[in-house]
Amino acid sequence: MKSYEEMTKEELLKEKEGLEAEYKKFQQRGLKLDMSRGKPSQEQLDLSMGMMDVLTSGVDLTCDDGTDCRNYGVLDGISEAKQLIGDMIECNPDNIIIYGNSSLNIMYDTISRSMTHGVMGNTPWCKLDKVKFLCPVPGYDRHFAITEYFGIEMINVPMLPTGPDMDMVEDLVSKDEAIKGIWCVPKYSNPQGITYSDETVRRFARLKPAAKDFRIYWDNAYCVHHLYDINQDHLIEILKECKRAGNPDMVYKFCSTSKITFPGSGVAAIATSANNLEDIKKQLKIQTIGHDKVNQLRHVRFFKDIHGITEHMRKHADSLRPKFEMILDTFERELKGLGAGSWYSPKGGYFITYETLDGCAKNVVAKAKKAGVVMTPAGAPFPYGKDPHDSVIRISPSYPSLEDLTTAIDIFVVCVKLASIEKLLGE
């Protein structure tokens, strides 16, 4: 197959004519397909329905240490839940605080507290002239929304196949005291599905920031979200690396069971150093008397231990894998060699990223919408919604059925081809 760049103008126009006919047929079907957010499908949600049966009115709601989960207290979470989450994220339970259902909520709180009260005795950010954050791009739009909301200046850092460009990260944080943090999704990153290499993690742990209150916001959202049993990415543990490098306080590690059990009513947690925990608890004990212990106990009784989570995630993988494979197979079959963009094949997580030719992403997303396919807005994976190359499109395969998703991807492919040809023809 010839690439589009090798085709003559006449060949491109003929190709375009055929694609436009195909596109019209899709439009006439009046489809309504949604690939906009990484929500688990109904099939995935059903996997956790047994959790509704583990706590009934006849069940003892007392923890191993005698805590009655129905009552007040236990600021940092029940010990069984800390053990379970600790095993999931490879951390000592003593370094963990269990919160409510949302890790995004914890990240928001962490930024908010830094703004109003500072980090471990440092000047509150609201009293500083400038506060900046590093943002690996493409990245998670909701991270960027938090820093934007607080008026924090965001600096793009390109993502490489090994993780963020660490030459740039090291250079920037060592020179600029206004840089207070960096957003990271280190395993099966949102949206590319990249896992940070061992060297990248070690370089993070050995950063020499100019700001004493610089923190790495390590959102380990997809730590157990593998698509395959054997062919999995491995991420080395950041807290241990930071401790080893003499930077024990430099990282906040976030996680939740949002895409493991029920996104609306899971369990979220932060893991960090003893000093950071002490700092956080000063606020926490004013803010709450403790989060939902009944829900924590429900999760523990449902999974029992880390092996329960591993088995459960295999079932999620069985649901997700055919969708990921269908998309990647379609790209290989329909787009490989055309010179119409590129993609990365992840081994886990929730997203696939397609990179169009420069200046084509918005056009592809708009065309898809007119044919009945709603996608994440082009530009969303960048601070301020501005993709400098207008080329990154995040695909969320989880929510639609395989049948609907297959149709949506067929439409997407036609839109990519049309937008690429239009660009090359200079339209």
Cα separation, 371 vs 30, in Å, equals: 7
Segment 61-90 mean pLDDT: 97
Position 9 scores a pLDDT of: 96
Position 156 scores a pLDDT of: 98
pLDDT per residue as tens digits for the range 186-212: 999 999 999 999 999 999 999 999 999
Residue 104 has pLDDT above 90, yes or no: yes
pLDDT band at 1 (very low <50, low <70, confident <90, very high): confident
Residue 37 has pLDDT above 90, yes or no: no
Segment 95-100 mean pLDDT: 98
0.95 exceeded by the pTM? yes
Which two three-digit tokens encode residue 164?
Answer: 């963020």
pLDDT per residue as tens digits for the range 351-398: 999 999 999 999 999 999 999 999 999 999 999 999 999 999 999 999
Ranges of each domain in the chain: 4-44+310-424, 64-304
Cα separation, 343 vs 346, in Å, equals: 9
Position 75 scores a pLDDT of: 97
H-helix or E-strand spanning residue 322: helix 306-334
H-helix or E-strand spanning residue 383: none
pLDDT per residue as tens digits for the range 245-301: 999 999 999 999 999 999 999 999 999 999 999 999 999 999 999 999 999 999 999
**Over pLDDT 90: what percentage of the chain?**
98
Position 377 scores a pLDDT of: 96
Position 367 scores a pLDDT of: 98
Position 67 scores a pLDDT of: 97
Residue 328 has pLDDT above 90, yes or no: yes
H-helix or E-strand spanning residue 291: none
Residue 316 has pLDDT above 80, yes or no: yes
Where would I find the beta strands (DSSP E) of 31-188?
33-35, 96-98, 132-137, 153-160, 163-164, 179-184
Which two three-digit tokens encode residue 416?
Answer: 């990519």
Position 222 scores a pLDDT of: 98
* Topology of the domain comprising 4-44+310-424: Aspartate Aminotransferase, domain 1 (3.90.1150)
* Topology of the domain comprising 64-304: Aspartate Aminotransferase; domain 2 (3.40.640)
What average pLDDT is seen over the chain?
97
Non-local (6+) Cβ contacts of 59 within 8 A are none
Cα separation, 339 vs 20, in Å, equals: 19
Q: What is the dihedral of CA 262, 62, 308, 260, to 10 degrees?
A: 10
Cα separation, 35 vs 406, in Å, equals: 11
Non-local (6+) Cβ contacts of 218 within 8 A are 184, 186, 238, 251, 252, 253, 254
Maximal C-alpha separation, the chain: 79
List, in sequence order, the alpha helices (H) in 176-214: 198-205
